[in-house]
A and B are shown apart, each in its own frame.
Chain A
């Protein structure tokens, strides 16, 4: 299995500031034939289903605010939330879909 490891496990950010979450896989999730990284990011709020934010590592899902952005390639990825809003409090997961489907352990984002 491809193991996904996120850091940090939790972080507290002031409103309007930037939150950065890292995700590392134990093998590359970049498919050379199409140069796409098989990496997605989800936001999970209590009592709600996870919500897709980004796929192909950096493609924003329709309707997702542009303060959410993704970067990275191969085995190292980053989710950045610019200008954190109160409604962004949630647990964020990265997921690889290169080989089967596995998730990171999650990063809890709170307001400082």
Chain B
């Protein structure tokens, strides 16, 4: 079965850093783009970043560009979201998501909670 398991969430002070991990299993990791999507408490879903199957192409939402970095490790079947200069408005549940061949999302991780607060 396809599984995406996030880890690394937690409480961090404004200006701090955090790295989320997304461990993949049940499919050929190197064949798929991985996206990160966040949900602010009580709000909707927002696309954050993506990384290509080969790890060469990365794209970011305007709100996180320059502060967040997405990467992946083929040997570990894991994608990462490095978050720096965190702000209160980055508080959210962060999901890693697999991009299906047609361009839609198919599988989501269970989410990692990130809270930015003094």
Q: Give A residues with C-beta under 8 Å from B.
A: 38, 40, 42, 48-52, 55-56, 61, 93, 95, 97, 100-106
Between-chain CB contacts (< 8 Å), 14 pairs? A48-B110, A49-B108, A49-B110, A49-B111, A56-B102, A56-B104, A97-B104, A101-B105, A103-B44, A103-B46, A104-B44, A105-B44, A106-B44, A106-B45
Cross-chain contact of B105 among A48, A52, A100, A105 (Cβ < 8 A): A52
Could you mark each residue 16-55 of chain B with 1 if its beta carbon is under 8 Å from any beta carbon of chain A, else 0? 0000000000000000000101000000111100000000
Residues in A neighbouring B95, C-beta threshold 8 A: 49-50
Q: Which residues of A contact B108 (CB under 8 A)?
A: 49-51
Interface size class of B (residues with CB under 8 A): 10 to 19
Contact across chains for B105 and A40 when beta carbons are under 8 A apart: yes
CB distance from A107 to the nearest CB of B (A): 11
Task: Say whether, besides A49-B95, A100-B47, A102-B47, A61 and B106 are in contact (CB < 8 Å).
Answer: yes
Given known A-B contacts A49-B109, A101-B35, A55 and B104 have beta carbons under 8 A apart? yes
B45, B104, B106, B107: the one contacting A93 at CB < 8 Å is B45
On chain B, the residues within 8 Å of A101 by CB distance are: 35, 37, 47, 105
